[in-house]
Amino acid sequence: MLLTGKNAVITGCLRGIGKKTLETFAEQGANVWACAQHADEEFEKYCAELALRTGTWIKPIYFDFTNTDDIKAGLKAIVSDKQPVDVLVNVAGFTKDAIFHMTSMEQLKLIFEVNYFSQILITQYITKLMMRQKRGSVINIASISGIDGSHGQLAYSSSKAALIGATRTISRELAQHGIRVNAIAPGVIDTDMNAVVPANIIAGHVKGMSIQRMGGSSEVANAILFLASDLSSYMTGQIIRVDGGMK
Amino acid sequence: MSDMVLSGKNAIITGCARGIGKAMLECFAKHGANVWACARSLTPEFEASCAELASKYGVQIMPLCFDMTNKDEMKNAVKVVMKSELKVNALINNAGITYNALHQLTSESELRNQMEVNFFAPFLFTQYIVKLMLRQGSGSIVNVASSAALDGNSGRAAYGASKAALLCATRALSREVGAQGIRANVIAPGITETDMIGSMSDAVIAETVASTDMRRIGAPTNIADVAVFLASDLSSYITGQVLRVDGGM
């Protein structure tokens, strides 16, 4: 087990990559503060069962990513547990696709609120704890669209590009405190986010890949696991593409 | 999934006699892999250390000694692997030599030697092993390049160019064999605690460490652990990538 005895904060745990990361981390021995957008009975049950099965503790934490006070309250709940935090995984994020000229300022600001400003706020809080411990690993989930650009994803891709820039800068500032900061840039992954993308568009992407299929959320979770674990202890400021080799 | 991310897997690692390769040998064994441990010459010490690791971790370690620049010897080594009829899950091309000289002071013979050892040898060896992997329909290639291949450091023209060539070939290969279930990635170590840094002056080492965010030299196990990840199924959707393991340069 690669994360035995480590405590992690993971955001966006309700579904997709976040949910799979939660499962993978617990299976590898980590205790988790599982952050989600809103309280959900099924999610509570899922966390309890997963904790029981893996012999870890999992605490659901709820806050709305568009509400700064709400986020702060959620983070205070984590801080008040007075446990070391070894890992922070910023998974939560969303997209609302629109071509450049059809993107409203309102939409753009909302996406940046969730995909960028909230992530920075959370990272500031949690790395303050990590600095006291003199250790920690932060993993941001960006996107290949933040590197390559993506038709119809102005808001999403630029918010992810901002997150990549932040990853690099924060890694430089916090390395001397024993904190590593890296990002994963997933390609086309089989999640709800891509379920709405037309099949012919997905097929077009897959055709240009070395590994000619969509990725599974567990494949992204396993790369996150690597960056959270001590296997990557000399890596910081890196952006790892988990994209099956896209052109 | 347990801590043994390479349980039941078989790997070929070149350059196992010392440095990063030696650390890889132990890390792979620790994570449950059987290893063909390649080195130039079969010394009693090397044989003994292979046997010791095998019994310590309960895996098979098979010394495979040949000169990477001698094609006949390489062919014979490949035959040994084929005869075993074992699956080759991963190939780690780690063997390499270093060379420090300013561009204008680089001799032609050393330039050719760098390419011979750091590029032609792993390229040809990979051709043989990929042939086996294509039959299996799976495999992971991990090539050890250098941050010098990306950054173009002063005094590293010949060395950096040979590693840059390896990097480019890896990317091309990843595109050609991805559909057949084979992945190919590169590790680009920064400054690492091996014999290789013996060729660098203390002033250069201190300067490099000062410009590294983590303010320390990498340990060989730091590089080996990343090779374990890339060889394992944990990286099943990662191919054609270059992972810098450099403490943030």
Q: pLDDT tens-digit profile of B173-229?
A: 999 999 999 999 999 999 999 887 877 888 888 998 999 999 999 999 999 999 999
CA–CA separation, B220 and B60 (whole Å): 22
One-letter identity of residue A155: A
| Burial environment of residue B85 by CB neighbours within 10 A (0 to 12, 13 to 18, 19 or more) | exposed
- Region B123-139 average pLDDT: 98
One-letter identity of residue B244: R
For A182, residues 6+ apart whose C-beta sits below 8 A from its C-beta are: A137, A138, A139, A140, A167, A171, A227, A232, A235, A236, A237, A238, A239, A240
A211–B178 C-beta distance less than 8 A: yes
Among B164, B25, B166, B150, which residue's Cα sits nearest to residue B90?
A: B25
Q: Tens digits of per-residue pLDDT, A26-82?
A: 999 999 999 999 999 999 999 999 999 999 999 999 999 999 999 999 999 999 999
CA–CA separation, B183 and B174 (whole Å): 6
In this structure, what is the dihedral angle of CA atoms A231, A20, A198, B175, given to the nearest 10 degrees?
A: 20
Instruction: Identify from B237, B241, B246 which residue to disrupt to test chain A contact, counting A C-beta atoms within 10 A and taking the largest count.
Output: B237
Contacts with A, B 220-239, CB within 8 Å: 222-223, 225-226, 228-229, 233-239
CA–CA separation, A177 and A135 (whole Å): 7
**C-beta atoms surrounding A177 within 10 Å:** 14
CA–CA separation, B232 and B210 (whole Å): 33
Q: Tens digits of per-residue pLDDT, A178-234?
A: 999 999 999 999 998 888 889 999 999 999 999 999 999 999 999 999 999 999 999
**C-beta atoms surrounding A25 within 10 Å:** 30
Instruction: Identify from B234, B245, B246 which residue to disrupt to test chain A contact, counting A C-beta atoms within 10 A and taking the largest count.
Output: B234
Among A121, A240, A129, A140, which residue's Cα sits nearest to residue A177?
A: A129
pLDDT of B59 strictly over 90: yes
DSSP lists the bridge partners of residue B63 as B37
| Residue A118 pLDDT | 96
DSSP lists the bridge partners of residue B10 as B34
For A174, residues 6+ apart whose C-beta sits below 8 A from its C-beta are: A127, A130, A131, A138, A181
Alpha-carbon distances of B220 from B185, B194, B246, rounded to whole Å: 18, 7, 11
Q: Hey, is the C-beta of A23 within 8 angstroms of any chain B C-beta?
A: no
Q: Note if A62 is an active site residue.
A: no
Domain ranges of chain A: 7-242
One-letter identity of residue A82: K
Structure tokens given for A169: 């800068």
- Please indicate whether residue A96 or residue B90 has the higher confidence score (pLDDT): B90
B203 near B155, Cβ under 8 Å?
A: no
ipTM above 0.90, yes or no: yes
B229 near B31, Cβ under 8 Å?
A: no
- Region B77-98 average pLDDT: 97
Q: Tens digits of per-residue pLDDT, A198-214?
A: 999 999 999 999 999 99
| Residue B3 pLDDT | 60
In whole angstroms, how large is the CA radius of gyration of chain B? 17
Q: How far is B174 from chain A (nearest CA, A)?
A: 7
B193 near B220, Cβ under 8 Å?
A: yes
Q: Tens digits of per-residue pLDDT, A108-137?
A: 999 999 999 999 999 999 999 999 999 999
Place of tokens 């890889």: B24
Q: Hey, is the C-beta of A169 within 8 angstroms of any chain B C-beta?
A: no
Query: Where residue B1 falls among pLDDT bands split at 50, 70, 90?
Result: very low
Alpha-carbon distances of B71 from B77, B124, B125, rounded to whole Å: 10, 9, 9
Cα A127 to chain centroid distance, Å, stands at 15
Whole-number mean pLDDT of chain A?
96
Which one of A176, A215, A232 has the shortest CB-CB distance to B215?
A: A176
Q: CA angle at residue B122 from B121 to B127, to 5 degrees?
A: 100
B89 near B140, Cβ under 8 Å?
A: yes
DSSP lists the bridge partners of residue A243 as none
CA–CA separation, A20 and A219 (whole Å): 9
Q: How far is B3 from chain A (nearest CA, A)?
A: 4
CATH superfamily label, A7-242: NAD(P)-binding Rossmann-like Domain (3.40.50.720)
| Residue B198 pLDDT | 79
Which one of B179, B215, B238 has the shortest CB-CB distance to A212?
A: B179
In this structure, what is the dihedral angle of CA atoms B217, B223, B224, B228, given to the nearest 10 degrees?
A: 150
CB contacts of A237 in chain B (<8 Å) are 213, 248
CB contacts of B177 in chain A (<8 Å) are 210
CB contacts of B229 in chain A (<8 Å) are 226, 231-232
Structural domains in chain B, CATH included, are 10-238 (3.40.50.720)
Return the residue of A nearest to B227 by Cα.
A231
A11 near A19, Cβ under 8 Å?
A: no
- Output the DSSP codes for A62-96: E--TT-HHHHHHHHHHHHTT-----EEEE------
CA–CA separation, B241 and B223 (whole Å): 15
Which one of B237, B240, B243 has the shortest CB-CB distance to A215?
A: B237
SS3 B236: coil
Q: Hey, is the C-beta of A216 within 8 angstroms of any chain B C-beta?
A: yes
SS3 A140: strand
CA–CA separation, B106 and B156 (whole Å): 10
The model's pTM: 0.96
Structure tokens given for B15: 């350059």
Q: Hey, is the C-beta of A220 within 8 angstroms of any chain B C-beta?
A: yes
Pairing outcome for strands B90-93 and B139-144: parallel
CB contacts of A222 in chain B (<8 Å) are 233-236
A50 near A42, Cβ under 8 Å?
A: no
